[in-house]
Amino acid sequence: MTIIQNHPETRTGTATAWTPICAHADLLPERGAAALVAGRQIAVFRTFDGRLFAVGNRDPFSGAYVISRGIVGTRGEEPVVSAPMHKQSFSLVTGMCLDDPATAIPTYPVRVHNGTVEVSVA
């Protein structure tokens, strides 16, 4: 699923602007969705235990915007996504590459508001 959002309904709070991405029900567990938010490609994931994660969609090893197409799983207790091109695993919590700790992808705050998944890139 790819979602393009340059959304006029961006909500602002005291310090955080939230951009609606999709309905929570549209995010399938262990599958990613890509969204364009404020010019940034974001990959959003819902895990089987119901947690949501948002990370940058660009694979730093291949340069391709494919993280949303990666394989979601865990390493120990750490939720990860493995990039589809070269299979490096990234923590969905910190963005750190577990195969090369010198490399990371950005992480973003994500929440559900009134049944809608929202991401903040501010």
When pLDDT is averaged across residues 68-85 and rounded to a whole number, the result is 96
CATH class of domain segment(s) 2-119: mainly beta
102-116 pLDDT, tens per residue? 999 999 999 999 999
Q: How far apart are CA 86 and CA 28, in angstroms?
A: 24
Q: Which of 110, 45, 42 has its CA nearest to residue 81?
A: 45
Select the more confidently predicted residue: 6 or 37. Answer: 37
Q: What is the mean pLDDT of residues 68-94?
A: 96
Q: How confident is the model at residue 122 (pLDDT cuts 50, 70, 90)?
A: confident
Residue spans of alpha helices (H) in the chain: none
Tens of pLDDT, residues 11-38 = 544 457 999 999 999 999 999 999 999 9
Sketch the domain layout of the chain as residue ranges: 2-119
